[in-house]
């Protein structure tokens, strides 16, 4: 199926927030007899393509699961390579992201990152802070349960200090204590490589999110695959637990 950005925009109902679990880098590399890191390197190109595709469709927020807390238990060499790739991505893409008006946000336990990766990220956040286009929300050293616990701790501290009435904690206030504060919940979650799992990504936020799973491995994921996922989303009936009429 080939669908163009113009067709998708003309249909209307473009998702405001798209989240992606980028999976399959290792398998992609193995199929080619290459080390896993080779798959991650190619995966970086797919990140670039998705940022462009999201921009073309007028999506407001793109959340990418770049590194999970579980990923810390991978071999040291792979972790180091991923950290380096992140810094490299930032170095090579910073100017273009700024030119495209992209505003980068990041969520996760950043104190676990290497100092080099942390420094590159803070510079990227600073350089893109005035962007008025796509919000690129990177989940790095991130886990959904960790994020929910962090929000609980933050609210509990305020309650203990007498600044917050426990009874006043509603969904809105809770959401404002999460890493996605101020962002709409994802409308569409894409997972590549054919796995039907959410893998601890945005657990609170995906309560009513439509899920699109594709067999395509992340390094092969291109603009057409992004458009196809949105095309699929546009034809879903979203009921949010209510009856249709």
Chain contacts with ligand FPP (rule: CB under 6 A):
22-27, 36, 40, 43-44, 47, 64, 66, 71, 85-86, 89, 138, 218
User: What is the CB neighbour count within 10 angstroms for residue 176?
Assistant: 13
Active site residue 23: yes
| 3-class DSSP assignment, residue 105 | strand
Active site residue 200: no
The span from the CA of 141 to the CA of 104, in Å, is 16
- Indicate which residue of 13, 71, 185, 187 is catalytic: 71
The CB-of-24 to ligand FPP minimum distance in angstroms stands at: 4
The CB-of-85 to ligand FPP minimum distance in angstroms stands at: 5
User: Which residue number, 217 or 230, has a Cβ lying nearer to ligand FPP?
Assistant: 217
User: Which residue number, 141 or 205, has a Cβ lying nearer to ligand FPP?
Assistant: 141
Instruction: List, as one string, the DSSP characters of 24-51.
Output: -HHHHHHHTT--HHHHHHHHHHHHHHHH
User: Which residue number, 71 or 109, has a Cβ lying nearer to ligand FPP?
Assistant: 71
Buried b (16+ CB within 10 A) or exposed e, 131-163: bebbbbbbbbbbbbebbeebbeeebeebeeeee
The CB-of-56 to ligand FPP minimum distance in angstroms stands at: 19
Q: What residues are annotated to the active site? A: 23, 71
């Amino acid at each position: 199926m080939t669908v163009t950005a113009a067709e998708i925009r003309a249909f209307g109902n473009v998702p405001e927030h798209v989240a992606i679990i980028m999976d399959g880098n290792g398998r992609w590399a193995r199929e080619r007899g290459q080390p896993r890191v080779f798959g991650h390197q190619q995966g970086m190109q797919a990140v670039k393509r998705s940022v462009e595709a999201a921009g073309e469709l007028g999506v407001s927020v793109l959340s990418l699961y770049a590194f999970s807390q579980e990923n810390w238990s991978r071999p040291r060499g792979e972790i180091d390579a991923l950290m380096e790739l992140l810094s490299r991505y930032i170095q090579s893409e910073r100017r273009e992201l700024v030119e495209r008006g992209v505003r980068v946000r990041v969520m996760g336990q950043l104190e676990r990152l290497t100092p080099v990766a942390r420094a590159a990220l803070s510079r990227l956040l600073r350089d893109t802070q005035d962007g008025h286009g796509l919000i690129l929300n990177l989940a790095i050293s991130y886990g959904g349960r960790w994020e929910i616990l962090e929000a609980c701790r933050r609210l509990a501290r305020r309650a203990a200090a007498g600044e917050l009435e426990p009874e006043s904690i509603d969904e809105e206030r809770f959401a404002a204590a999460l890493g996605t504060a101020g962002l709409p919940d994802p409308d569409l979650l894409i997972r590549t490589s054919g796995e039907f799992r959410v893998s601890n990504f945005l657990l609170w936020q995906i309560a009513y999110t439509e899920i699109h799973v594709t067999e395509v491995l992340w390094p092969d994921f291109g603009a057409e695959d992004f458009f196809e996922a949105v095309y699929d989303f546009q034809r879903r009936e979203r009921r949010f637990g209510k009856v249709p009429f």
